């Protein structure tokens, strides 16, 4: 399931993040890649232990906590602290699948990566190329969103970033361990929740249809949740 989420960050939040990133250190993105991914990865990243990166990550996490669409699409149990990358002209990331397990910095804990997220920080008119391309059983999806918008998709998906041919493409990226491990079940729950929201817009909350659908939704989460 691939879901785009508009306006995760406000224009002011994007400007603040961009301003801090303008003055921070960038390193070779292969520093955080696995063996296979490192061979096809050519970009820059803010170091994981960068104080500036950690501060900006908190801005993203606060925005996610208040975003209902992210919550229903990812059903998050744990969210890895967001990181930041950039693709300057000529940079790219070949086809790969994200590593299944990531260490949570400073905690000694590890988490499963169920959902991948890319939060765009550069207006699409400021660069050419740089599309996130996600391959799944339903075909190939090229994603290039306005600054502040985000896409979430299964971390099991093969994906790539096309070469940037003009300008520079900046983004935040991170992974989520979902309460619902299986993507198809998450997809069904997402569709059900969207339907519930549609029904609630036309019927009162105490209508039997609303109550019944909501009960099924929460009971399915209880049944499928791994927490």
CATH of 3-178, one of 2.60.120.620, 3.40.50.970, 1.10.3720.10, 1.20.1250.20: 2.60.120.620
Domain ranges of the chain: 3-178, 183-224
Percent of the chain predicted with pLDDT > 90? 90
164-216, pLDDT tens digit by residue?
999 999 999 999 999 999 999 999 999 999 999 999 999 999 999 999 999 99
End-to-end CA distance of the chain: 22
Weakest-pLDDT range from 23-27, 107-111, 191-195: 107-111
CA distances from 124 to 29, 128, 163, 167, 171 (A): 22, 8, 14, 10, 12
Mean of the pLDDT values across residues 17-43?
Answer: 89
- 34 pLDDT more than 90: no
């Amino acid at each position: 399931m691939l879901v785009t989420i508009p306006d995760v960050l406000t224009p002011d939040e994007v400007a603040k993040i961009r301003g801090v990133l303008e003055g921070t250190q960038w390193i070779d993105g292969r520093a955080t890649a696995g063996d296979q991914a490192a061979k096809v990865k050519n970009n820059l990243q803010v170091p994981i232990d960068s104080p500036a990166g950690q501060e900006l990550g908190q801005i993203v996490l606060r925005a996610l906590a208040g975003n209902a669409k992210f919550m229903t699409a990812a059903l998050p149990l744990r969210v890895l602290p967001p990181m930041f990358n950039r693709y300057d002209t000529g940079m790219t990331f070949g086809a790969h699948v994200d590593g299944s397990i990531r260490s949570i910095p400073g905690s000694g804990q590890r988490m499963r990566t169920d959902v991948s997220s890319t939060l765009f920080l550069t207006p699409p008119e400021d660069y050419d190329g740089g599309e996130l391309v996600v391959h799944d059983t339903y075909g190939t999806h090229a994603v290039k969103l306005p600054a502040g918008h985000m896409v979430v998709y299964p971390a099991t998906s093969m994906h790539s970033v096309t070469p940037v041919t003009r300008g520079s493409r900046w983004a935040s990226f991170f992974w989520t361990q979902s309460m619902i491990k299986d993507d198809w079940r998450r997809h069904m729950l997402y569709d059900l929740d969207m339907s519930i929201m549609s029904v609630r817009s036309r019927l009162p909350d105490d209508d039997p249809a609303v109550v019944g659908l909501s009960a099924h939704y929460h009971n399915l989460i209880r049944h499928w949740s791994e927490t």
